[in-house]
Every structure is written in structure tokens, then in C-alpha cells.
């Protein structure tokens, strides 16, 4: 068989193998993305075509006070979740990696369980537990603050509480990633460090932390992207209120599209959020990598 | 899809030598949002219809009330996968017209259903029609908020008349006096309603606002002129009650019902749709006190009660077959003529012959509060109003927080005006 022939066969196999992915990717990502971009320049309703309006939607968005409130709330939420969730996940991962065999599997399962629940179940559990009138957690809150607090109806509590619910719900996945990272650190490094008389603290900062950094950076970036896309929890727990203190960008997009029938404007909002996520996450990942290399 | 599947079953049945009629059976896809005490009644009606009509089968689906329901209707109708018939809030009609999701109901349609517009309360027909008078849905009921009350607790007080109906609550001061008395008697939340936001607060606010003769929209302007002051008065009244502990703080819908049935409240202002809930509990002897319901008393300048209307609507699907449409109309006609069972779910039927019947007069507490139909204050007719509309969100976002002391009544009303006006322009 000639070399040429073999290469062609390989090429055919390669195309055949990636074809299903390419097809799905084009149909469910590229094409809709193209449509959203096109729609954001029109005055289309939710369903159906609209007229070309150029940049009108974008200029309107720049003058929309509610949009700035939503963007601000998005970043506030990122602040409340991304670093805390990573630190908590790391603590759990370090503790779990000390366990052995079945106990480890069991504990890991317990931490992972909330992650498999759908968001509607998660929010319902927490809404019940935190119900102002009958919630089982209200006595605990009352013990700390002196009186029960309607957490999802209080402008100061609403975002931090949604953050707590989100961390509880999604942290299992981060724990898994970090445990995988921990398992990749060769045992001999710890042995060598122990021989040199390193304290546990030194072993963490000199061995674990630098070698876990790539995974940590990944967790931070994935979290950043995920939390900027916040919608479900807000929609189900607080509906953006009270007085817009938990209003986020996707909430605004949803209202514009589904309630007010402004498909074009909603697409523009979606595009801007998309750009924000791309810029912020690329920036963050690069910074983290640079930060990691310096160590 | 479903009809094809139905035919397939029919054909299979035929092939196996079973009886023929299954072949001609029409499947009617039915969507509603009735999940409360009234949903149980509606399911019974559907079952009865199916039993009586071997040639038509209703496949009922109950979806989540509010924005999820209307979003689903909107998107499914657009791609031709909607139901054949659905329940619809008439307050939501202006938005439906803009979205073009409803199929007009012609005079022949009504005839097929065995109905005529004269059979219905005029206000409901107006609410179900376009501004040009084209009927877009068939009204099924008028529903409103009523005062559910603990008769046992009020026994022997000046607030019950000889028949055991609420009396003497002709001003806000008198209402406050009753609630203060109840508080002293140990009722932790004398008047309960869904105070957490959204629907419950809107119904309460709108009732007080309309009792002052307020108008949300006049010539495309939100809260014009002294309507602003009336809105502030309505919010302030609720805020004062909350500050005095007379209404519950942040009660979710279910919690507000539980506060009443758990005897922590003496009065409970909520929809007629909870009548079957309390009625069933009364009959089962699990309520622990004697319950009754009256029209919300006139506490301000004029009688008024927030009201809305459920109707049957046919989605705008050009591909719907004549056969299916005829079956849908048969369903509508049958439902209207059996609306006495729906009255049992608390609602006031829009079909007059039912309300005028002796059976209805014997229905308690329904016939007692039927008087509210004359004082029904419907949501403003606008694309920003109606169930799950921007007005509901503004109430959730601004009015409810003001009631609970996070915002002044003036600020809340002003911000609501600005926000809603922005959507109209």
C-alpha cells in the first residue's frame, strides 16, 4: 500500500470520527450563534423576523440603567462565589484525600450528591428551609441576628444567600477536579520533603499548592464562566428582586425575550454577556497561568 | 403526532377485531394551569366529559401557572406544537393579541358549541374580545379575591351580623380595630395574604387602590395625576398594618394559607380558588373552626375587588383540522353547561344560566359572595398588565418591599410609575 493511500485512508477515518461532533456543533452552536448575532441587529419579536435596525439595540443597551445594575450584580455574585467555592473545594479535597478506601468513596459521594440534583429541586429545598414563616433554618438565623430574616426578600441578604445555595449545589464537581489534581502529585515528592524535615505547612505550600495550581486555575476559570451565566437560582428564588438587588444579565435577557417580546434587544443583551464572558475568562486564565509560572 | 398515534392505536384495535368507534375518536390536547383546589375539580370535569363522549378524548396537561405557562404557549404555538385548547387569563388578552397566539372565535364556532354571546356576563365578553369586538376566547368564569374568615373566632363580636356574615368593616380604621382586637386575642397574624410579593400583593394593593377609584393607566400614562397619591395610600395602609404586626411579614403563598388554616389568622384574603380547599377541610372536620367567605368589604370610597377571568382559548394553528376544531368547540360547550361543578371550585361561572339556576343559589358560600361580580375590578387592559406581566414583577420588586419597610411608599409608587412608563413608550 502506498503512503499516499494510507494517508488518504487516515484522513477519511478522521473526518468520519469528527463528523458527528462537527454536525452537532454546527447545528446547535454555530448556527444559533450566527442567528443571535444577526437577530441582535434587528427589531425582531421573540419568534419571527424583524427589520434591520443596525446598532440601535446596542446603543439602547448602553443607555439602559437596568443593564448596568445587572452587570454589577453579576460581578458581585462572581466575587461571592468563585474564590470561596474554590477554597472550600480545596479544603474538602485535602481532607477527603487523607481518607482511605470505602470511607473516601462514601464521603466523596456525599459531597457530590447535591451536584446531581436539578436546580428546581435545589432551590425548592432551600426555599423551604429558609421560608420566613415556617423554615427550619429560621431559628438558627434568629439565634445569630436576633430575628428571622426573609433572606430572598432582603436586598442585603439575597445575593449572599443565592451564593451559599449555589456553592452547596455545585461544589462537588470542583472537589472531584481537585482530588484528581491531588492524585497526580507523585508520592515521592512528599517523601523527599519529609526526609528534608518539611513541616506539613511547608509541604502544602512548597509541594501541593504549586503542583495543584493548574487544576486550581481551571476550577477558577470554569467557575467564573458558570457564575457569570447565573440565571436559574435567581429566577426561582428571588425573581431579581427586591428592587432589582438580584437582577442579573440573563434575567434581563429572559424578561425582554419572553415577557416583553423583544427578541432583537434580548439577542443584543446575550451578545454583550457573551463578549464579557469571553474577555473576562480569557484574561483571567492567562493571568492565572502567568501567576502560576512565577512560582 | 398524537392524532396519528391515536389512529395507529385505532387501526391496531381494528386489526385485532375490536370495536370500530375507536377509529373515529378525536384526541383533544388540553393545557391548563389549574393546580390548586380548583385543579381537582377540573380534572373531574375532564374525566366526566371523556366518559360521556366515546368519540372525543381530552388529554389534559397541567403546567406551571404564570410566566412559564404563557411562555410555553407562545413558543409551542409558534412552531405548531401547541395544544388544541387551553385555559387563558383574560387579563392577559392584550398581550396575546400582540403575540398573535389566539385563533378568533367566530359566530359559527359559538353555534357549533351550542352557545351564544348573550349567554355570558357582558363584562366577560368584553374582556374576551378585541377592541373591534372580535371574540378571541370563550369566558369560563369570573374569579376574584374574597375574605375567608374564622367564624368561630368572631362569634359574638360586633363584626358578625345576625346571619354570621362580616359586618361593620366600612373603613380602614374599623378593619384595623378588628385586626388589633384579634392580635390581642393571640392571633399572631390577624389578616393573612400572600404578602411575599407577586400575585397576592398585587391583588391586595389593586383592591385598595380601586376602592379609592384609582386608575393605573389613563391615556397611556401610568399613575397619572392623583392616582399616584391613591397608590401611595394603598401601599401605606398595607405598610402600616405590617408595622403593627397585623399582616404577616413575607408570607409565601402556601404559608399564607397555612397561617389561616392553622388558626394564626382570623381573616385571609385570597382567591375564590381556595374555597374548595377550606370547604374540603371543613367537611373532613380537619379545619378546627367554622369557616366562611364574603366579598372583600368596602373599606374606602367605593366597593371594588380585584378580579380576573379564566377563559377557553384555541391556539392560532392554521393546520388544525376541522374535525379537531369541532371537537374542541364541543368540549367548550359541554364545559360551560357543566359549569356548576366549576362554581364548586369557587369561581363565579361566566355562563349566566348556571349562575341563575337554583342549584347555584343553594351553593354556599358562593352565592353569598357572588355580589362581588358587580364590583369586579379587572386589571387594566394593556400589554404591561395581566397575569405574569411587568406589573406583577413591579409589585414583586417594589411594592412588596415597601410593605415590608425596605422602601417608602412614595418611592415605591414613583419607581413603579417610571419603570412601567418606560415599557409603554
In angstroms, rounded to a whole number, what is the distance separating the alpha carbons of residues B216 and A209? 61
Least confident of A281-295, B280-294, B315-329, B342-356: A281-295
Smallest Cβ distance to B404: which of A48, A131, A153? A153
In angstroms, rounded to a whole number, what is the distance separating the alpha carbons of residues B284 and B282? 5
Q: Give pLDDT, residue A46.
A: 82
Asked if the Cβ–Cβ distance from B404 to A244 is below 8 Å, we say no
User: What's the sign of the alpha-carbon dihedral B211, B217, B223, B227?
Assistant: negative
* Percentage of the residues of chain A whose pLDDT score is greater than 90: 73
**Which residues of chain A neighbour B248 with C-beta distances below 8 Å?**
133
Smallest Cβ distance to A242: which of B75, B251, B397? B397
In angstroms, rounded to a whole number, what is the distance separating the alpha carbons of residues A68 and A243? 14
Q: Give pLDDT, residue B12.
A: 52
- Is A241 in CB contact (< 8 Å) with chain B? yes
**Which residues of chain A neighbour B407 with C-beta distances below 8 Å?**
242-243
In angstroms, rounded to a whole number, what is the distance separating the alpha carbons of residues A162 and A145? 18
For chain B, the maximum distance between any two Cα atoms, rounded to a whole number of angstroms, is 75
- In the block, cell 383540522 appears at B321
Is pLDDT at B346 greater than 80 in this prediction? Answer: yes
Per-residue pLDDT of A209-244, as tens digits, reads: 999 998 998 999 999 999 999 999 999 999 898 999
Axis crossing angle, helix A65-98 with helix A209-228, rounded to the nearest 10? 150
**Which residues of chain B neighbour A45 with C-beta distances below 8 Å?**
99
- Is B271 in CB contact (< 8 Å) with chain A? no
Chains A & B: contacts with CB separation below 8 Å: 82
Query: Most B CBs within 10 Å: which of A69, A147, A153, A232, as the mutation test of the B interface?
Result: A153
CA closest to B198 among chain A residues: A239
CB distance B185 to B150 below 8 Å? no
- Is B188 in CB contact (< 8 Å) with chain A? no
Is pLDDT at B418 greater than 80 in this prediction? Answer: yes
Smallest Cβ distance to A46: which of B74, B255, B404? B74
- Is B388 in CB contact (< 8 Å) with chain A? yes
Could you say which residues from 41 to 80 on chain B have a Cβ atom under 8 Å away from some Cβ of chain A?
Answer: 67, 71, 74-75, 78-79
Interval B407-418 mean pLDDT: 95
In angstroms, rounded to a whole number, what is the distance separating the alpha carbons of residues A167 and A163? 6
Per-residue pLDDT of B112-124, as tens digits, reads: 999 999 999 888 8
**Which residues of chain A neighbour B198 with C-beta distances below 8 Å?**
239
Task: Please tell me the distance in Å from A45's CA to the nearest CA on chain B.
Answer: 9
C-alpha separations of A248 from A63, A259, A282, B381 in Å: 17, 16, 21, 29
Asked if the bond preceding A242 is cis, omega within 30° of 0, the reply is yes
Is pLDDT at B381 greater than 50 in this prediction? Answer: yes
Q: Give pLDDT, residue A294.
A: 57
Provide φ and ψ at A272, rounded to 5°: -65, -40
pLDDT category, A1, cuts 50, 70, 90?
low
Asked whether the ipTM of the predicted complex exceeds the cut of 0.85, the reply is no
The pTM of the full predicted model, rounded to 2 decimals, is 0.85
Name which of A289, A164, A177, A285 is nearest A225 in CA terms.
Answer: A285
Amino acid at each position: 500500500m502506498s503512503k499516499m493511500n494510507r494517508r488518504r485512508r487516515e484522513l477519511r477515518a478522521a473526518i468520519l470520527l469528527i463528523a458527528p461532533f462537527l454536525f452537532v456543533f454546527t447545528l446547535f452552536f454555530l448556527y444559533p450563534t450566527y442567528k443571535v448575532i444577526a437577530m441582535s441587529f434587528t427589531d425582531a419579536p421573540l419568534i419571527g423576523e424583524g427589520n434591520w435596525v443596525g446598532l440601535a439595540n446596542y446603543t439602547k443597551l448602553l443607555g439602559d440603567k437596568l443593564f448596568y445594575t445587572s452587570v454589577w450584580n453579576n460581578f458581585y455574585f462572581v466575587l461571592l462565589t468563585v474564590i470561596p467555592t474554590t477554597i472550600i473545594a480545596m479544603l474538602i479535597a485535602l481532607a477527603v484525600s487523607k481518607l482511605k478506601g470505602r470511607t473516601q468513596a462514601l464521603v466523596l459521594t456525599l459531597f457530590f450528591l447535591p451536584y446531581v440534583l436539578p436546580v428546581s429541586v435545589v432551590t425548592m429545598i432551600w426555599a423551604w428551609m429558609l421560608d420566613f414563616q415556617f423554615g427550619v433554618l429560621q431559628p438558627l438565623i434568629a439565634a445569630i441576628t436576633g430575628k428571622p430574616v426573609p433572606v430572598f426578600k432582603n436586598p442585603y441578604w439575597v445575593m449572599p444567600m443565592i451564593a451559599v445555595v449555589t456553592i452547596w449545589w455545585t461544589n462537588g464537581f470542583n472537589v472531584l477536579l481537585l482530588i484528581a489534581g491531588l492524585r497526580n502529585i507523585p508520592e515521592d515528592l512528599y517523601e523527599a520533603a519529609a526526609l528534608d524535615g518539611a513541616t506539613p505547612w511547608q509541604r502544602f505550600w512548597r509541594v501541593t499548592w504549586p503542583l495543584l495550581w493548574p487544576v486550581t486555575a481551571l476550577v477558577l476559570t470554569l467557575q467564573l464562566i458558570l457564575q457569570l451565566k447565573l440565571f436559574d437560582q435567581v429566577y426561582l428564588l428571588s425573581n431579581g428582586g427586591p428592587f432589582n438587588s438580584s437582577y442579573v444579565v440573563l434575567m434581563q435577557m429572559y424578561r425582554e425575550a419572553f415577557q416583553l417580546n423583544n427578541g432583537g434587544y434580548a439577542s443584543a443583551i446575550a451578545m454583550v454577556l457573551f463578549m464579557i464572558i469571553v474577555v473576562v475568562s480569557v484574561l483571567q486564565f492567562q493571568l492565572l497561568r502567568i501567576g502560576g509560572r512565577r512560582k | 403526532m398524537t392524532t396519528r398515534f391515536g389512529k395507529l392505536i385505532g387501526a391496531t384495535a381494528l386489526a385485532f377485531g375490536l370495536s370500530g368507534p375507536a377509529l373515529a375518536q378525536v384526541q383533544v390536547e388540553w393545557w391548563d394551569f389549574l393546580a390548586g383546589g380548583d385543579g381537582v375539580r377540573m380534572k373531574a370535569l375532564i374525566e366526566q366529559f371523556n366518559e360521556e363522549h366515546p368519540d372525543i378524548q381530552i388529554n389534559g396537561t397541567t403546567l406551571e401557572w404564570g410566566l412559564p405557562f404563557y411562555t410555553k404557549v407562545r413558543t409551542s404555538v409558534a412552531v405548531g406544537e401547541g395544544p388544541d385548547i387551553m385555559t387563558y387569563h383574560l387579563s392577559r388578552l392584550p398581550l396575546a393579541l400582540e403575540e398573535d397566539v389566539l385563533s378568533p372565535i367566530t359566530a359559527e364556532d359559538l353555534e357549533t358549541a351550542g352557545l351564544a354571546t348573550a349567554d355570558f356576563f357582558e363584562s366577560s365578553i368584553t374582556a374576551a374580545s378585541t377592541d373591534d369586538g372580535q371574540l378571541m376566547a370563550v369566558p369560563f368564569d369570573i374569579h376574584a379575591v374574597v375574605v375567608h374568615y374564622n367564624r368561630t373566632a368572631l362569634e359574638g363580636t360586633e363584626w358578625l351580623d345576625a346571619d354570621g356574615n362580616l359586618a361593620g368593616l366600612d373603613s380602614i380604621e374599623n378593619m384595623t380595630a378588628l385586626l388589633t382586637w384579634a392580635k390581642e386575642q393571640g392571633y399572631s397574624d390577624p389578616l393573612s395574604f400572600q404578602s411575599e410579593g407577586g400575585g397576592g400583593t398585587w391583588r391586595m394593593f389593586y383592591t385598595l387602590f380601586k376602592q379609592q377609584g384609582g386608575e393605573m393607566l389613563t391615556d397611556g400614562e401610568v399613575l397619572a395625576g392623583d392616582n399616584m397619591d391613591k397608590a401611595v395610600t394603598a401601599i401605606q395602609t398595607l405598610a402600616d398594618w405590617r408595622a403593627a404586626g397585623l399582616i404577616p411579614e413575607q408570607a409565601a403563598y402556601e404559608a399564607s394559607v397555612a397561617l389561616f388554616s392553622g388558626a394564626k389568622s382570623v381573616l385571609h384574603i385570597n382567591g375564590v380558588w381556595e374555597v374548595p380547599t377550606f370547604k374540603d377541610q371543613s367537611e373532613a372536620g380537619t379545619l378546627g373552626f367554622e369557616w366562611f367567605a364574603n366579598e372583600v368589604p368596602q373599606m374606602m370610597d367605593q366597593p371594588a375587588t380585584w378580579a380576573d377571568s379564566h377563559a377557553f382559548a384555541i391556539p392560532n394553528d392554521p393546520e388544525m383540522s376541522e374535525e379537531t376544531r369541532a371537537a374542541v368547540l364541543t368540549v367548550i360547550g359541554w364545559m360551560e353547561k357543566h359549569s356548576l361543578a366549576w362554581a364548586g371550585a369557587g369561581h363565579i361561572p361566566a355562563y349566566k344560566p348556571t349562575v341563575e339556576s337554583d342549584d347555584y343559589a343553594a351553593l354556599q358560600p358562593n352565592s353569598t359572595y357572588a355580589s362581588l361580580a358587580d364590583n369586579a375590578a379587572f386589571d387594566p387592559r394593556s400589554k404591561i398588565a395581566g397575569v405574569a406581566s411587568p406589573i406583577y414583577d413591579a409589585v414583586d420588586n417594589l411594592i412588596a418591599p415597601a410593605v415590608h419597610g425596605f422602601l417608602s411608599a412614595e418611592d415605591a409608587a414613583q419607581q413603579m410609575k417610571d419603570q412601567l412608563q418606560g415599557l409603554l413608550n
